[in-house]
Amino acid sequence: AQTVTQSQPEMSVQEAETVTLSCTYDTSESDYYLFWYKQPPSRQMILVIRQEAYKQQNATENRFSVNFQKAAKSFSLKISDSQLGDAAMYFCAYRSTMYSGGGADGLTFGKGTHLIIQP
Amino acid sequence: GAVVSQHPSWVICKSGTSVKIECRSLDFQATTMFWYRQFPKQSLMLMATSNEGSKATYEQGVEKDKFLINHASLTLSTLTVTSAHPEDSSFYICSARILNEQFFGPGTRLTVL
């Protein structure tokens, strides 16, 4: 079974600064998807960014970018020019590309990192 | 983006009663939907995978007779918590899959007294 580990329960950053959230995972599969989701106080899950394991290029979405190190099984999220609206819980998630009928298509989440933005 | 709704957004029920939660994909058809559970200040845990027209697949440790899932159409999946107890109180979130992306509903907060 796959596991996802987020070792930072909470992070704090000054507005307009850059912050990096860490995520490591364990899998025996060679192809898979990795995601970062944001969960604000409303509890609505919002996709921030997605990375396909077979792509070597790191994904980027505006102020959000990832550092995907496949050999190290590391998938960190960098938020540049932090804004007050970025304050939320951030979850790293894994999805297998293999559908076995046993829920492999579902997401495995890390425990989350609470991001605080200091004005 | 694709929109997924859940109803109700919150529900309070007495111990021993059953509660049904609906998950709808509003602007797309979803052959696969997922149900997650989130306890306070914790992560989301996959409970089951719901496939249209077939039986749901439950994760290890999830009682299928307690958490009944029905995916009767391509836009609707329901989760029924039977004989609810206070320990079933939680935040239940559904998602619907399109290709390689999942779209999440806003969640349902269940409180069992």
A4 within 8 A of A109, measured Cβ to Cβ: yes
CB contact under 8 A, B44 and A43: no
Q: How confident is the model at residue B98 (pLDDT cuts 50, 70, 90)?
A: confident
Q: Is the peptide bond before B8 cis (omega within 30 degrees of 0)?
A: yes
pLDDT digits 0-9 by tens, B8-51: 999 999 999 999 999 999 988 888 999 999 998 899 999 999 88
Rounded to an integer, the average pLDDT of B53-80 is 92
| Backbone conformation region of residue B53, classed left if phi is above 0, alpha if psi is from -120 to 50, else beta | left
pLDDT digits (tens, 9 = 90+) for B45-58: 999 998 888 889 99
Q: CA-nearest residue of chain B to A49? A: B101
Q: In angstroms, what CA-CA distances link A85 with A3, A40, B31?
A: 29, 9, 34
Instruction: Enter the tokens of residue B90.
Output: 């939680």
CA atoms within 13 A on the CB side of A11: 25
Out of A52, A101, A109, closest to residue B44 by CB = A109
Structural contact between residues A9 and B42, judged by C-beta atoms closer than 8 angstroms: no
> Confidence band (pLDDT; 50, 70, 90) for A102?
very low
For residue B35, the model assigns a pLDDT of: 97
Burial status of residue B29 (CB atoms within 10 A of its CB: 0-12, 13-18, 19 or more)? exposed
pLDDT tens string A21-30: 999 999 999 8
Chain-centre distance for alpha carbon B69: 8
Q: Is B23 on the interface with A (CB under 8 A)?
A: no
User: Which residue type, as a one-letter code, is found at position B16?
Assistant: G
Of B43, B101, B107, the CB nearest to A109: B43
Q: Is A96 on the interface with B (CB under 8 A)?
A: no
The whole-chain average pLDDT of chain A stands at 93
User: For the segment A36-57, what is each residue's pLDDT rounded down to a tens digit?
Assistant: 999 999 999 999 999 999 998 9
Contacts of A37 (CB under 8 A, 6+ apart): A45, A46, A47, A48, A90, A91, A93, A109
